[in-house]
Amino acid sequence: MDYPFIYDRYVTGKNFIGRQQDSMILGNLLRQGVHVCFYDTAKSGKTSLLQHTLLQQRIHGWQFTVGQMSALNIRTTEQFLRRLGAVAIRSVASSPLEYSAIVEQYLGGTHFVFDREVFSRSDEILSLSWDIDETDIRAILSLPQRLAADREVNLLLIIEEFQNLGFIEDSYHLFKIFESVIAEDNKGCTFIFSGSSYNAMKELFETKGLFYRRVEKFRLSPVDEKEIIDHVVKGFLSSGKVIDRDLLSGVCRMFRYNMFYINHFAAICDSRSKGYIMEPVLMDALGCLLSIHEPRFRETMNNLTTHQVNFLRAVIDGYKKFSTSEVIHRYALNSSANVKRVKDALMKKEILTFNDADEPFILDPLFEYWVKKYFFEV
């Protein structure tokens, strides 16, 4: 069944709203073989943009192969290498016989082997005969490029939740080897690094300069308000309902044009209304949406120290500078040194971020609404 408001999965084609210019630019970068990284908060539209772009590129005749993996649950170098290697091999092969041949040809002399018994039991392509060393690391990291070059294919290798590789012990060593591999001619293999921990990805790719001048940092543009309103109005019309465009304008601003929240909100409105949708329906839908996310918001606040809560209240109250004596005294922040510690902690917890002018904003728009109205009761 075709639903007008899709929020439970990524969207492409006619369901993809806005960011057409972003899609064109991203497609051009990938066609040119430019490694790309893009990051934003969870449910901000990263996967939809990427998948829509790939669909459009296929429609326009570009031939390519996609390998995709997530680093969400990776905590060791071994886990990462085995998964990356398996994704690269599966992107060009489809049978145990082919897997075995590739491992023998490209990973000979390393500690990686293809064990048929392990594969039959757990579907694992790569097994280890000994502890990994630098030769093993370099062999796996360069494997996608070597396969793409030899098979003469355009391989797009997507690594989602890339920031979680920072949890690996001695991740710096892994990243430096990865950098040296990226620096080589990509020979038909393009890496796409995606992450939903905004501050963690920014730390890696901007503050620490990971893959400096080797990877293009791609920023998602805001979705145009008119396009969002047209989409929602059209969705309601499909079920015989009407809504005032001015009301939707307020919804867009409250959710900061986040299509996940807007689509979820609209789906709730659609299920709880008939005919003309008035403001009481919107408030009822907002209450439903908050009830879904409130346990997560409560847990977030329960995990903050008193100083962190006080700092967040200062942000809610509109302060931009936090090391002044007035703010430190009013919000019991103790000292300017403590202010920096609290600021760093809130960024590490992905609650706040700061723009180029060092002005704060809360990353999650619904959390910002909840914490202001229900926690601080402003």
Q: Inform me whether the pLDDT recorded for 1 exceeds 70.
A: no
- Tens of pLDDT along 106-164? 999 999 999 999 999 999 999 999 999 999 999 999 999 999 999 999 999 999 999 99
Residue with tokens 């066609």: 31
Burial class (CB in 10 A: 0-12, 13-18, 19+), 30: buried
Q: What pLDDT score does 186 carry?
A: 67
Long-range CB pairs of 238-247 (<8 Å, 24+ gap) are 238/4, 239/4, 239/270, 240/275, 241/270, 241/273, 241/274, 241/275, 241/276, 241/277, 242/275, 242/276, 242/277, 243/269, 243/276, 243/277, 244/277, 247/277, 247/279, 247/282
The confidence band for 3, taking pLDDT boundaries of 50, 70 and 90, is confident
What residues are paired with 37 via a beta bridge?
193, 217
Q: Which residue in 375, 43, 33, 19 sits closest to 191, CA to CA?
A: 33
CA atoms within a 13 Å half-sphere pointing along the CA-CB vector of 84:
29
**Contact (CB, 8 A) for 151 and 108:** no
pLDDT on residue 203: 95
Instruction: Classify residue 164 as exposed, middle or buried by CB count within 10 Å of its CB (0-12, 13-18, 19+).
Output: buried
Mean predicted confidence (pLDDT) in 21-49: 96
Q: 67 phi and psi, to 5 degrees? A: -120, 135
Each residue's pLDDT tens digit, 278-331 = 999 999 999 999 999 999 999 999 999 999 999 999 999 999 999 999 999 999
The residues, any chain, with a CB within 8 Å of residue 187's CB and separated by 6 or more, are: 145, 146, 148, 149
What is the β-pairing status of strands 65-70 and 112-113? unpaired
Tell me: the pLDDT tens digits for 212-256? 999 999 999 999 999 999 999 999 999 999 999 999 999 999 999
> What Cα–Cα distance (Å) separates residue 255 from each residue in 133, 157, 172, 292?
48, 32, 37, 15
